[in-house]
Amino acid sequence: MGPVPFYDPEGSRFGIATFPYGLAPQGLATRRQLRRQQLRPAGQQPVAQLMWRSRRTSSAKGVPRGIQVAYLYEIAKARPYRPPSPKQLAALAAALRARRICPTCGVEQPYCLPRRYGQCQACHGWDLPSPEHTPTPSTESMLPAAVQPSTDRRP
């Protein structure tokens, strides 16, 4: 077996300690892993990175195509995340509700409107109830209600 292309614990090759996907040392975590533990990086700079090959294009600055990077932060220096204020929660609920209101018929739908069509499925012409359908019963819910699968199999 040849050398592992993304293994550079000293940082001499990439300028920062680099590990292959799945081989990060204990005590380091990505932003998503910190968030799952209800932590945040709290202004600290990344101490290492994970690199792996991918078919997606890279989103990191200076990283070639076909390579993905995830930065690692020290868990010991992370701080608890700040919970959103009531005003932030109210703004989020209003934004999610606005995504469910059809601009054509003005009815709140039980799902977020597809950006592709810009209107509800009934106004777009799918074989669904007419635009006089009733609004959802729980308009104060922050998350959209689940949509029942349609028996119509058209795309």
pLDDT digits (tens, 9 = 90+) for 26-73: 999 999 999 999 999 999 999 999 988 887 766 666 666 788 889 999
The dihedrals phi and psi of 98, each to the nearest 5 degrees, come to: -65, -30
Provide the residue ranges of all domains of the chain, joining segments of one domain with +.
17-80, 84-149
The total of other beta-carbon atoms located within 10 Å of residue 93's CB is: 15
Say how many CA atoms lie within 13 Å of 154 toward its Cβ.
6
The band of 146, judged by pLDDT with boundaries at 50, 70 and 90, is very low
Tell me what percent of the residues of the chain surpass a pLDDT of 90: 47
Q: Which helix (H) or strand (E) holds 124?
A: helix 121-124
The total of other beta-carbon atoms located within 10 Å of residue 36's CB is: 10
More confident residue, 49 or 148: 49
Cα(10)–Cα(15) distance, integer angstroms: 8
- The answer, yes or no, to whether residue 149 has pLDDT greater than 80, is no
Instruction: Taking residues 132-149, report their average pLDDT.
Output: 46
